[in-house]
Amino acid sequence: MSKTYSGFIAIIGPTNAGKSTLMNKIMGRKVSIVSHKVQTTRTRLRAVKMVGTRQLIFVDTPGVFRPKRRLDRAMVGAAMDATTDADAILLIVDAGKGITDTVRELVAKIAGHKNLFVAINKVDTIAKNNLLPMVAELNNLADFREIFMISALKNDGVSQMLKSLADVMPESPYLFDATDAPDVPDELYLAELTREKVYKYIHQELPYHINVVTERVDVDDDGVLDIYQKIVVQNDAHKKIVIGRGGEQLKKIGTAARRDIQEQWDVNARLHLFVRVEPDWEDRAENYADQGLEFIK
Ligand SMILES: Nc1nc2c(ncn2[C@@H]2O[C@H](COP(=O)(O)OP(=O)(O)OP(=O)(O)O)[C@@H](O)[C@H]2O)c(=O)[nH]1
Ligand SMILES: [Mg+2]
């Protein structure tokens, strides 16, 4: 029998650096939701990518930032936890933002890892001569195995990067089935697709205080899915904004989410959205497990 290789790669970095965009590009499908706003990803999401006979298990993580609320702490905790048993760490840095304090603090925490890689992402947004100082600064911060320059959005440099990552995977039986596949519980994935539309249509800070939960999924005789989801908001004012005048906003969110669900899963679906005010949702331990998060007291 020929040898097999399999290992975990934690994708980590500041919020909005393009981690989820990269994850999706690698998988060739939407595994992780993306938005132009910060703090989009809230939990760890795994996906399996085969590179030849080598299995790469990517773990997308919430962006690292200074946590303020309990949910923030759980998110940043989930990100840092992903690095502890990773076989490789792939730090993503936004080329346009450069080496910020957040990047420096993060590197200080992971610098000891034996397979530390960094990808300067969004190179499509800056002039090439701005890259060298960034590379120099990164080299001062830690002993990176390799520094990649990529554009996740344009799929630039991604396949070469995959080869380098595949090279350091440890010899191991396959830890998952040897096919490319995401590993997200269905209900969470369905909720994520709706949350992505909340980020898209609801402006400013409000989406950070909104949670989406899939409560039930039924299949009728024709194979059409009935998906029941609640959108949890903190107060009546938020509820009004999410519903919009004459229900307009909620309708936009629902239509876009349903289309996306149908497209991603190749199914017919009806999506039933309800907006509920639950002021203490983020303080209740039982809500964290559903989201793949740990409740930190
Ligand atoms: N121009 C450009 N934009 C990019 C690139 N990669 C990602 N983006 C954009 O950057 C924004 C943030 O992308 P995400 O993938 O959600 O970032 P993230 O690091 O997962 O963010 P969090 O989940 O909040 O930590 C989106 O608007 C993306 O379209 C890139 O290579 N070039
Ligand atoms: Mg993300």
pLDDT digits (tens, 9 = 90+) for 38-70: 899 998 999 999 999 999 999 999 999 888 889
The confidence score (pLDDT) of residue 220 equals 93
> Domain of 270?
185-290
The per-residue DSSP string of 24-54 comes to HHHHTS-SS---SSSS---S-EEEEEEETTE
Q: Which atom of ligand 1 is nearest to the CA of 35?
A: 16
Residues 28 and 52 in one domain: yes
Q: What pLDDT, on the 0 to 100 scale, is given for residue 60?
A: 96
Total domain count, the chain = 2
- Write down the pLDDT at residue 297: 75
Q: Closest ligand 1 atom, CA of 14?
A: 25
74/208 same-domain check: no
- Ligand in nearest proximity to the CA of 22: 1
What number of other Cβ atoms are within 10 A of residue 140's Cβ?
10
Tokens representing 272 are 């039933």
CA of 66 to the centre of ligand 1 (A): 19
The pLDDT assigned to 291 comes to 78
Same domain as 120, residue 260? no
The dihedral sign for the CA sequence 77, 80, 84, 85? positive
Q: What is the rounded CA–CA span in Å between residue 123 and residue 138?
A: 16
Distance 205 CA to ligand 2 centre (A): 17
pLDDT along the chain (297 residues), means of 10: 92 97 95 91 93 96 91 92 95 97 96 97 95 96 98 98 98 92 84 94 85 94 95 95 95 97 91 96 87 80
Is 232 inside any structural domain? yes
Residue nearest to atom 10 of ligand 1 (CA): 18
Residue 215's CB is within 10 A of a number of other CB atoms, namely 12
Q: Let me know if residue 78 belongs to a domain.
A: yes
CATH at 232: 3.30.300.20
Task: Give the domain CATH number at 72.
Answer: 3.40.50.300
Instruction: Return d(Cα 162, Cα 152) in angstroms, integer.
Output: 12
Query: Which of 162, 182, 202 is the last residue before a domain boundary?
Result: 182
Does residue 133 lie in a domain region? yes
User: What's the CA-to-centroid distance between 222 and ligand 2, angstroms?
Assistant: 35
Q: Are residues 37 and 156 in the same domain?
A: yes
Residues 174 and 191 in one domain: no
Same-domain check for residues 12 and 159: yes
Q: Are residues 132 and 245 in the same domain?
A: no
Beta-strand pair 5-12/269-277: unpaired
Q: For a ligand 1 pocket test, name from 16, 150, 291, 293 the mutation site with the most ligand atoms within 8 angstroms of its C-beta.
A: 16
Tell me the pTM: 0.94
Domain assignment present for 295? no
Residue 296 belongs to some domain of the structure: no
Backbone angles phi, psi at 183, to 5 degrees: -130, 60
Do residues 26 and 58 touch, judged by C-beta distance below 8 A?
A: yes
Whether 136 and 270 share a structural domain: no
CA of 285 to the centre of ligand 2 (A): 23
Instruction: Tell me: do 169 and 201 sit in the same domain.
Output: no
Of 61, 57, 25, 48, the closest CA to residue 169 belongs to 57
Q: Are residues 62 and 82 in the same domain?
A: yes
Whether 122 is in the pocket of ligand 1, judged by its Cβ within 6 Å, is yes
**Residue 270 in domain:** yes
Using the mean position of ligand 1's atoms as its centre, give its distance from the Cα of residue 33 in Å: 10
Same domain, 189 and 50: no
147 assigned to some structural domain: yes
297 found inside a domain: no
Q: Give me ligand 1 centre to Cα 63, in Å.
A: 11
- Ligand 1 nearest-atom number relative to CA 154: 31
The domain boundary residue, chosen from 139, 155, 182: 182
Q: Which two tokens stand for residue 221?
A: 């005789």
* 102 pocket-lining for ligand 1 (C-beta < 6 Å): no
Give the pLDDT of residue 1.
66
- Say if residue 76 is in the same domain as residue 25: yes
Where does a domain end: 163, 182, 201? 182
Residue 136 has which token pair?
């120099």
